Structure 1
Amino acid sequence: MSPSGHDSASVGPAAALVVGDFTMERGSWFPPHRHPEHQLAWCDRGMLRVRTELGTWLLPPSLALWIPAGVSHATGAVGAALMRSPYVVPDGCPVPWTEPTVVRVGPLLRALIGHLRRTDLAPDARRRAEAVLFDVLAPVSVANLALTRPQDQRARVVAQGLIDDPSDNRTLEEWSTGTGAGARTLARLFASETGMTFGRWRERLRMQLAMPLLAEGRPVESVARRVGYMSGSSFVAAFHRIVGLTPGQYFRRDAAPGHPGELK
């Protein structure tokens, strides 16, 4: 496998799976690409952002994304990250998923990925470990957080203002003063150019910006205020409604006490 981490994996005749390790600096990206193997995009530390035509996912160490062979995707590091991704030969692979699928990464899957990094495993031992890894892959229902920015300059002023300060709770009527467009025009621009209402767009942006803070281990109450919620409970409720899991479920890492998995 090349240093880019996304050329074809070199899988020997006794192996259906190899694990690639890639250290990624904050903000770095592997640009859109595809490869003939399935990939389980996962980071041992940090957080990944994976973009495909079907959506965008933010992945802490508690979650991974199964990317079927041939699916174009780009992978970035939200913060400094260690990506540790299994690559799987499609022939004979028992995983049936044909679209990107989020899976839970618990202690057993983590251990199996680490075990399969070894180059000294006997063929039979490797095949047994691979079989267990495939067996423990369990999909989890998580919404993708793809977010399109508006193109019209008037709506872009609002979007950039919220990116800079997600706690800004101004209504579109209040935003209209400095944009040169009325509230109805701004609402129409957000709906036509982003595919969602202004309120929904703002909520999804807040979840995107909250996730790296939660991944760093910051308290829910602090993150909630940072992104515009009056209390931790209201933020947790919004997170669950938008993402599909609570922050504690999303960031759970059972083997690491004190990790954000202890969030409610």
Structure 2
Amino acid sequence: MSRNGQPPAGPPGTADQVAAAIVVRAYALAPGSRFGTHWHDTHQVVWARNGVLTVSTGDGEWILPPTRALWIPAGTPHQTAALASTAMRSLNISPGPGLPDWSLPQPLAVGPLVAVLIDHLAGAALAPEHRARAQAVLIDNLAPVAARSIEVLMPADPRALDVARALVADPADPRTLAQWGRQVGSSARTLARAFAADTGLTFARWRTAVRLRAALGHLARGEPVTRVAGRVGYATPSAFVAAFVRETGLTPGSYFHGGPPEV
């Protein structure tokens, strides 16, 4: 195991590195699987062929269904985790000329062509000239997209933290701040101030983020929107879809299966 927490790419001259600027590795991840904080000497593109990944860096947190990947510049510390059973693809790209000059993590669109090219490059038996052509086409088709992250920061205040942990465990809990205040021995106003100060969000927005983040795991397992909405605390599917669009710019269907941002 290398310093980056993942299996090493192998010594120079191994079969998967000869004449290859991109090495594709596959990981079958169970729900909750995690690579702790690590980094790579190469650039990395992280993609969930199926399932959902989360990637956290000092610049933010991204939730990646199969329609999205993330470019992680070489040397960037990050954590990767699976929200559901996930077939993860890790593309390690040697720095060099002709690559995008993204110095910060960059969300990428993954359409059918990019997906097929990644699978093609994962093949161990490619001739060097075939691999070189496929790599060039893949690099040319890495298209950045605007992707809003669904980030859940936890408050530092001990009483607000008790509330936050309870809601992460059960996002559908409908209790108000006043009701939570009676539970943890605080006033609603004090809890509201703690959430705003520690997370940068109002309690209502924070709870929305928790609910939508929880929903992604259910949606990734193929559960219908009608069931997921109730599981995470929404009275109707339309209310859930409206909240999802407000936070991500996409409907749940577009988020997982591609499509333009909602306007």
> Normalising by the residue count of structure 2, what TM-score does the alignment of the two structures yield?
0.89
Q: What corresponds to 1:181 in structure 2?
A: 186
Number of equivalent positions: 254
Equivalent in 252, 259, 262 of residue 257 of structure 2 = 252
- Shift in Å at residue 4 of structure 1? 4.9
User: Which amino acid in 2 is paired with 1:115?
Assistant: H
Aligned pair in 2 of structure 1 residues 82, 4: CA closer, same or farther (>3 Å)?
farther
How is 1:26-105 mapped onto 2 (pairs within 5 angstroms)?
26-105=31-110
- Contact kept in structure 2, 1:8 and 1:35, CA below 8 Å: no
Among candidates 15, 31, 54, match of residue 20 of structure 2? 15
1-structure distance, mates of 2:7, 2:257: 28
Q: TM-score, normalised by structure 1?
A: 0.89
Give the distance between the partners of 1:153 and 1:13, measured in 2 at CA. Answer: 54
Consecutive unaligned residues in structure 1, runs of 5 or more: 255-264
Secondary structure, in 3 states, of the residue corresponding to 1:71? coil
8 Å contact from structure 2 (residues 152, 210) kept in 1: yes
Equivalent residue in structure 2 for 1:235, among 230, 233, 240: 240
Q: Secondary structure at 1:251's aligned position in 2?
A: helix
> Could you give the per-residue CA deviations for residues 198-246 of structure 1, whole angstroms, max 9, x where no partner exists?
1111111111100000111111111111111121122111111112222
Shift of 1:48: 1.3
Secondary structure of 2:69's match? strand
Cα separation, 2, equivalents of 1:20 and 1:161: 37
Identify the match of residue 160 of structure 2 among 155, 164, 179.
Answer: 155
2:115 partner SS: helix
Identity of aligned residues (%): 47
Q: Does the 8 Å CA contact 1:55/1:145 hold for their aligned counterparts?
A: no
- Residue 167 of structure 1 is matched in structure 2 by 172
Asked whether the 8 Å contact 1:30–1:74 carries over to 2, the reply is yes
Q: After TM superposition, give the deviation of residue 151 of structure 1 in Å.
A: 2.3
1:126-181 CA-partner distances (Å, limit 9, x unpaired): 12111111122122221112221112221122212212321223221222111211
Q: Work out the CA distance in 1 between the residues paired with 2:166 and 2:79.
A: 26
- Does residue 209 in structure 1 map to residue 214 in structure 2? yes
Structure 2, unaligned stretches of length 5 or more? none
Secondary structure of 1:245's counterpart equals coil
CA RMSD of aligned residues (A): 2.1
